[in-house]
Amino acid sequence: MKKSMAHTVYTNKKFIEDYSKNAETNFFNAHLERPATLSLLPDVNGKTVLDAGCGAGIYSEILYKKGATVKALDYSHEMLRLARERVPEGVAFIEQDLNQALPYPDKTFDVVLCSFAVHYVKDWVSLFNEFSRVTKSRGLVVFSTIHPIMDVINLPDCHYFETQTIKELWDSYEVWVESTRRPFADFFKIFEETGFIFDKMIEPQPLPEAKEKFPGHFEKYSKIPHSIVFRIIKK
Ligand SMILES: C[S@@+](CC[C@H](N)C(=O)[O-])C[C@H]1O[C@@H](n2cnc3c(N)ncnc32)[C@H](O)[C@@H]1O
């Protein structure tokens, strides 16, 4: 399969080392998305959890320390190298593209977590069908992505009601990244079509301590939602 622009970015050694270090403490992950995503996870002690698009393993480490049996995947061998350094034992990391069928038996997981990765996959019906297949009945999928309203604000060519491939410049890293955006209503259609029931949703707001550390971002993203986090239940 032809590798995407996002794959080129996420296997660029310099980029991912900077990005992964940053993600531990930055505004968008540490002070906005991660607290909200973690708040939607159940008690994972003794549960089997998939960290899909695990990146440098920040969530894998948290899940492992909370007592979960963690399996994790990413299509970037460079990200996986950092993840394995972060969590040297106890997590089964594999190189795997989310555009492909997942290499796990049916009903393997109590929880599937997918943080900031689904927007790199165009075909959400196939992706969520795979999440559905590998999740136990009444199990949970918790995922975060970019809020659909952000694209309307940021992209001059955004057609809100269409599913679009978009390219964005990440200023602070000077890289172009390609992803797919879709209207809000499609999320719910896809949940239904792939065997899930909507449970909870959060439009994260910055943590209070971000006001001093990142005043510009705090001001902006206290008014405009950057991310969105869902919890859906396998029927
Ligand atoms: C923004 S990072 C998020 C990493 C991690 N989930 C976190 O929140 O710290 C997105 C990750 O998704 C991975 N990714 C993107 N598209 C993917 C795909 N098609 N299959 C597997 N991993 C993918 C990237 O390699 C990258 O590690």
Q: Which pairing describes strands 48-52 and 109-115: parallel, antiparallel, or unpaired? A: parallel
106 alpha carbon to ligand 1 midpoint, in Å? 23
CB neighbours (10 Å) of residue 21?
Answer: 12
The per-residue pLDDT for 175 is 82
How much of the chain exceeds pLDDT 70, in percent?
A: 99
For 113-157, how does the pLDDT look when each residue is reduced to its tens digit (9 = 90+)? 999 999 999 999 999 999 999 999 999 999 999 999 998 888 888
Q: Is 60 exceeded by the pLDDT of residue 1?
A: no
Ligand 1: residue whose CA is nearest its atom 26? 55
Ligand 1: residue whose CA is nearest its atom 16? 120
For 67-80, how does the pLDDT look when each residue is reduced to its tens digit (9 = 90+)? 999 999 999 999 99
CB of residue 98 inside a 6 A radius of ligand 1: yes
Tell me the mean pLDDT in the region 21-44.
Answer: 97
The per-residue pLDDT for 124 is 98
Q: Is 90 exceeded by the pLDDT of residue 4?
A: no
Q: Is 90 exceeded by the pLDDT of residue 7?
A: no
d(CA 135, CA 107): 5
d(CA 88, CA 39): 26
The per-residue pLDDT for 112 is 99
Give the amino acid at 4.
S
User: What pTM, to 2 d.p., does this model score?
Assistant: 0.96
179 alpha carbon to ligand 1 midpoint, in Å? 11
CB of residue 116 inside a 6 A radius of ligand 1: yes
Q: State phi, psi for 135 to the nearest 5 degrees.
A: -95, 140
Report all structural domains of the chain as residue ranges with CATH numbers, in order of start. 5-147+184-234 (3.40.50.150)
Q: Which pairing describes strands 175-181 and 48-52: parallel, antiparallel, or unpaired? A: unpaired
d(CA 1, CA 63): 31
17 alpha carbon to ligand 1 midpoint, in Å? 14
d(CA 201, CA 204): 9
The per-residue pLDDT for 2 is 58
Q: Which of 9-13, 32-36, 38-42, 220-224 has the lowest mean pLDDT?
A: 9-13
Q: Is 70 exceeded by the pLDDT of residue 31?
A: yes
101 alpha carbon to ligand 1 midpoint, in Å? 16
The per-residue pLDDT for 155 is 86
Give the amino acid at 170.
W
Q: Is 80 exceeded by the pLDDT of residue 172?
A: no
Ligand 1: residue whose CA is nearest its atom 13? 53
Token pair, residue 208, equals: 């209070």
77 alpha carbon to ligand 1 midpoint, in Å? 11
The per-residue pLDDT for 171 is 77
d(CA 23, CA 14): 14
Q: Is 70 exceeded by the pLDDT of residue 21?
A: yes
For 183-234, how does the pLDDT look when each residue is reduced to its tens digit (9 = 90+)? 999 999 999 999 999 999 999 999 999 999 999 999 999 999 999 999 999 9
The per-residue pLDDT for 174 is 80
Calculate the average pLDDT of the chain.
Answer: 95
CA distances from 110 to 53, 153, 180, 223 (A): 17, 36, 27, 35
CB of residue 121 inside a 6 A radius of ligand 1: yes
